[in-house]
Homo-oligomer: A and B are copies of this chain.
Amino acid sequence: MDFKLSDEQRMLEETVGRLVRDGYPFDVREKARTSELGYSTEMWQQFAELGLLGVPFSEDFGGFNGGGPELMVVAEGFGRGLVLEPYLATVILSGTLIDFLGSDSQKETLISAIVGGEVRLALAAYEPEGRYDHTHVATTAEKSGDGYVINGSKAVVLHGDSADKLVVIARTAGSTNDRNGLSAFVVDASADGVSRRGYETIDGLHAAEISLNNAPAELLGEEGNAIDALEKSLALGIVALCAEASGAMEVACDHTLNYIKERQQFGVPIGKFQALQHRMVEMRMELEKARSMTILAACSLELSAPVRAKRLAAAKAIIGKSGRKVAEEAIQLHGGMGMMEETAVSHYAKRIVMIDHQLGDLGYHMQQLESLLDLDEDAA
């Protein structure tokens, strides 16, 4: 048992840390956020140059061959800077799914392009009526000529508005909630039959509602067998979200601590008031829990499916629960300043709370955990 980062992991951490520190001050981030695209393509190119876009991929494609801990290190750093670029959408959710399912030539083409920063992707998995259930897929794909055509609607597709290509989950067999019969496809975002309604999200990211109307699509891997790979990619996504939340919670705690040390009322810093001290301690305790569960999640990806599922559900649930407390207390202890758009902490709070709405919220993951309550890890 050893919680220390390896030398390579530490280097990765330093790379991301430096990038965020130097390249991502609040005003620069705000400029990118309020741009039409909602993030910076220059920054994306920097990610590529630093090798960050290759973290989870094989060295064959110029990648880093990283697993859970490596993605954790990257996402935690991104969380500290509230990074806006579509790393989760492109690299983690779409990229790894292509990596798990794609043919050698698909990988050769697409993964290399991802690693090189030449293409941005989005995973179109969830649907308007399906909430957080990734098996709720009513969208269908049918063979047509060499390829397929897809029909259906996809909901709140993270960075779906600016993606060059979409990885779409569609049904080639079975009915709406079946685990079997799901397939993954690559769809060109500019193709006929793809219509997108893009919008900003409350936490400053972008997403899109996507309608597919006989949209031409290229199958990834085998037909009907995408579920295991999809769940592996979503698991990576959950690790990344937990880590991002931990990073953001850390900064929210730091900002709040600094604020109560500096803000004077009644002639003393408000951090001298014991009631606020104890609440600050409780915030930090929530942060420690979030960090612990992020590590647990990051180190559980290679375990058996039920053990992995149980730990990830618990991790994401803790993030939802602890994140809410940290976000709300960060605002409250900042007083009126915490309500202001010009105060960085309000953006941290928004991102932390919205992470609970991505890839399953507290309620969803507690239900998963409840269904696995009797699982004995030692036996599994």
Instruction: Name A's B-contacting residues (CB within 8 A).
Output: 273-278
Residue of A273, A275, A277 ringed by the most chain B CB atoms within 10 A: A275
Complex contacts, A274 vs chain B, CB 8 Å: 273-276
Copies held by the complex: 2
Complex contacts, A277 vs chain B, CB 8 Å: 275
Give bound CA distance, A302 to B80, whole Å: 59
Residue of A273, A274, A276, A277 ringed by the most chain B CB atoms within 10 A: A274
Q: Smallest distance from the beta carbon of A267 to chain B beta carbons, Å?
A: 15
Closest 5 CB pairs of A and B: A274-B275, A274-B274, A275-B278, A275-B275, A273-B274
Give bound CA distance, A193 to B380, whole Å: 53
A-B pairs with beta carbons under 8 Å apart, 7 shown: A273-B274, A274-B274, A274-B275, A274-B276, A275-B275, A275-B277, A275-B278
- Chain B residue, CB-CB nearest to A281: B275
Complex contacts, A276 vs chain B, CB 8 Å: 274
Give bound CA distance, A274 to B274, whole Å: 5
- Chain B residue, CB-CB nearest to A279: B275
Q: Smallest distance from the beta carbon of A284 to chain B beta carbons, Å?
A: 15
Q: Smallest distance from the beta carbon of A283 to chain B beta carbons, Å?
A: 14
Complex contacts, A273 vs chain B, CB 8 Å: 274
Give bound CA distance, A275 to B280, whole Å: 12
Give bound CA distance, A275 to B276, whole Å: 8
- Chain B residue, CB-CB nearest to A272: B274
Q: Smallest distance from the beta carbon of A269 to chain B beta carbons, Å?
A: 14
Give bound CA distance, A277 to B273, whole Å: 11
